[in-house]
Amino acid sequence: MPSQLTAQLTASRSSALTGKVRAPGDKSMSHRSMILGGMASGVTEVEGLLEGDDVLATGRAVEAFGAKVERTGDGKWRIEGAGGFKTPSSVIDCGNAGTGVRLLMGAAAGYALTATFDGDGSLRKRPMKRVTGPLAEMGAVFDWQAAEDRLPVALTGGTLKAIDYVQTVASAQVKSAILLAGLNAEGVTSVVEPEKSRDHTERMLRAFGVEVGVEEMGEGWTVTLKGGQLLTGTFVAVPGDPSSAAFPLAAGLIVPGSEVTVEGVMLNALRTGLFDTWIEMGADLTITNRREAGGEDVGDITARHSALKGVVVPEARAASMIDEYPILAATAAFADGVTVMRGVGEMRVKESDRISLMVEGLRACGVQVEEEPEGFIVTGGVVRGGATVHTAHDHRIAMSHLVLGLAAEQPVSVDEPGMIATSFPGFVEMMNGLGGHIA
């Protein structure tokens, strides 16, 4: 993988991509295994951990809160929890990890400690009140060090009271932060979601011995958790990340003659919205060898070059694929007709404003795109390429345009490619190993 100092990467039109690869460990589960392992009593053994920059930052934070964190092999980690977090001796630097900082604040809020959270330039631009607001309602105190709603912020935790929190926009990060704080709050904490967001926190809490209630409510649900429950160290097997698997699979769909298989991909129904959408677009996508790993359904996914057609993506699907819209937009650029993506305003507060950056990048590559406040519309056809795309330090923007460049008429370059390592170390090597041309 190029270093952080690499100025740019360029993807060039490739002949057929073929082969079998394994997706990196799921990023969401990797963060959670580190945090819950650090909060627990006893030892947690993790296999398949994503060893990307974001997760490693979370591991260092957990260690700063008093846990012992040790790498024992490739993707294998041992976390010895101290039965709770302690006041750290220095600032908790979460790097670029939005999931890491928000979940860590939720976890830390339940303990009698003070900690300052910070991150890199990109993370400092991301809003935090969506998490600190409900945590403050529970009794945590926040002291904004620079600008309100932005890092750095000092948190003082302890003596929390449970709340009943109703989300207006489904967010697994907000839900998870509240639930982690609720573990050490007085009373029963509940979170109501209008639509179902990923449920890895609920599943993993159960694996650590916590009782979590889930009540279906049409498109959404209510999650409840009683305070005072103790976490016990356990074994966590992390399956392949569907968000990362999307990139080699997308290349398989758009590069003529390709057939690419990604093995061991998580198939949690709340994470497969992109695959459902691709199939509706006419993708030749097959799933084999279905099985269970780490309490999650997994399988091997094969993508073959396909004649895609534009679709209207159901807005209710956004929560299950919010991180995958950039790569969906890249594949939609090669589809026949119009692909409509609405109800995805959440994309504007990710590592970057992903709507604006995808619109800007696709237009630079000759694709017709219409930007809306809460979404965008891509009209597919021949993709000219021939542009250098500004990524604003966003790994998914970079990878999406590099995949686009593998099938575009002219090469496509991206700036600041070192940030790809936050979620997908080895991305370039994997794509080139399949027959792609990225350098």
Name the residues annotated as catalytic.
323
H helices of 143-266, in order, are 172-182, 200-207, 242-254
Burial class (CB in 10 A: 0-12, 13-18, 19+), 114: middle
Name the nearest CA neighbour of 435 among 176, 251, 209: 251
* CA–CA gap between residue 185 and residue 108 (Å, rounded): 12
Structural contact between residues 38 and 70, judged by C-beta atoms closer than 8 angstroms: no
Backbone angles phi, psi at 307, to 5 degrees: -85, 100
Burial class (CB in 10 A: 0-12, 13-18, 19+), 188: middle
* CA–CA gap between residue 242 and residue 17 (Å, rounded): 19
Residue with tokens 């600032």: 91
* CA–CA gap between residue 155 and residue 113 (Å, rounded): 8
Side chain identity at residue 34, one-letter code: M
